[in-house]
Amino acid sequence: MVDAEPLLDARDVEVAPPPAPDEATPAPAGWRRHRRAIAAAGLVGGAAVTWMGTTGAVDLPWPRAATVVVGVALLLAGIDSALKLWRGERVQTALWLSVAWLVIVGAAALLADVLPLAEAQDPSRTLTEPSLVRPDLFSEHPLGTDRQSLDILGGVVYGARVSLTVGLGAVAIGLVVGGFLGLLAGYYRGRVDAVIGLVTDALIAFPPLILLLALVSALEPSVRNVTIGLAVLSIPIYVRLARANTLRYAERDFVVMARALGGRDRRILFRELLPNVLPPLVSYGFVVVAVLVVAEASLSYLGLSVQRPNPTWGNLIAAGEDSFDRHPHLVFAPGIVLFLTVFALNRVGEAARVLWDPRARRADGGR
């Protein structure tokens, strides 16, 4: 306010912003010089330590867990350095790992029937197997067995099949139905928009999980019905997304031109607008699949989705919950797989939106 004051404070500003290296973890410049060494040490050392931790060379629970954590951390550092050596410093390691993880989970779900997995569904065939075996990555039961001696890895793989079928199926239905309705609403506006908007608002008026619970409460919990329930959940999302994107393009001159050339509504909707509206919808699909996988897992955790003995990630975790203070792997093995899958879907989804959705690109991938 007074002229002299800013002078005084200006010094303060100069002092304040640059400092505080207190939180700064290792300086990147130093690390960069040793990429090769870190990559080699991380990959080899990490693998070795992880192996040590899982085989039970150390046999106390906490040291063992710590060994695995250290091993995995080393391994990740090694992979990060190796990728940076290969693709340059700006490589997004988390994205690469996410894609790799999704490929692994997808392949496992696809090939579940031909993979050499131990019995995971029928307790009458595991009577001679040991029960509650702890995970050991290089044994017959890599993720251990449960109370009924069923193989956890097998359960997780078959669970992946349910999660992915349900998630992808529901998104496909939601994309087609919701995308179509949103396209109509955004193009015709007026009364069509009002009716579709009202129904969409009514669907969104239910908290998502409550809507899902309400739907499955009335129907039999089968893969088909859960897929339908999840699709109902995703339809309003897609209606809104498709409508907003259609509105952006429907006012453009190329739509006017298509009409000037004598194009009918159907042609304008599907040939002119759809190709522009579809990419952002599809790129958003990853995130929606992630949301739906969580919803399905929550549902089966509550015992309202696909029932035992058919394994899902949610019902595996629910089954292991009773004794997981003593046998944490019953919860953590499927739990970590579930978490990693959702994380990978979100990460890939974010990248896809930056790539294909002009609005997300402008916002610099934020939100």
Q: Does 3 bind another protein (CB under 8 A)?
A: no
SS3 151: strand
Q: Does 252 bind another protein (CB under 8 A)?
A: yes
CB of 165 to another protein, least distance (A): 18
Tokens of 182: 């949103």
Number of C-beta neighbours around residue 98 at 10 A:
23
Convert residues 328-357 into a mask of x (bound to another protein by CB under 8 A) and - (unbound).
x--x---x--xx--xx-xxx----------
Single out the residue of 173, 250, 297, 360 in contact with another protein (rule: CB under 8 A).
297
Where are the alpha helices (H) located in 189-222, listed in sequence order? 190-204, 208-218
Q: Does 4 bind another protein (CB under 8 A)?
A: no
Number of C-beta neighbours around residue 144 at 10 A:
21
Tokens of 15: 């002092």
Question: Which residues, numbered 207-226, are part of the site for another protein (CB under 8 A)?
Answer: 207-211, 213-220
Number of C-beta neighbours around residue 364 at 10 A:
8
Question: Which residues, numbered 180-209, are part of the site for another protein (CB under 8 A)?
Answer: 198-199, 201-202, 205-209
Single out the residue of 57, 100, 107, 257 in contact with another protein (rule: CB under 8 A).
257
Kindly list the distances between the CA atom of residue 219 and the CA atoms of 224, 302, 324, in Å, as whole numbers in the listed order. 10, 15, 31
Cis peptide upstream of residue 135 (ω within 30 degrees of 0): no
Tokens of 240: 């809104």
Contact segment (CB under 8 A) with another protein among 108-116, 131-139, 145-153, 246-254 equals 246-254
Give 151 or 350: the residue with its C-beta nearer to another protein.
Answer: 350
Of 273, 272, 291, 284, which is closest to residue 240 (Cα–Cα)?
284
Question: Which residues, numbered 82-101, are part of the site for another protein (CB under 8 A)?
Answer: 94
Q: Does 148 bind another protein (CB under 8 A)?
A: no
Of 130, 105, 104, 103, which is closest to residue 118 (Cα–Cα)?
130
SS3 145: strand
CB of 354 to another protein, least distance (A): 14
Give 139 or 276: the residue with its C-beta nearer to another protein.
Answer: 276
CB of 324 to another protein, least distance (A): 7
CB of 212 to another protein, least distance (A): 9
Give 107 or 198: the residue with its C-beta nearer to another protein.
Answer: 198
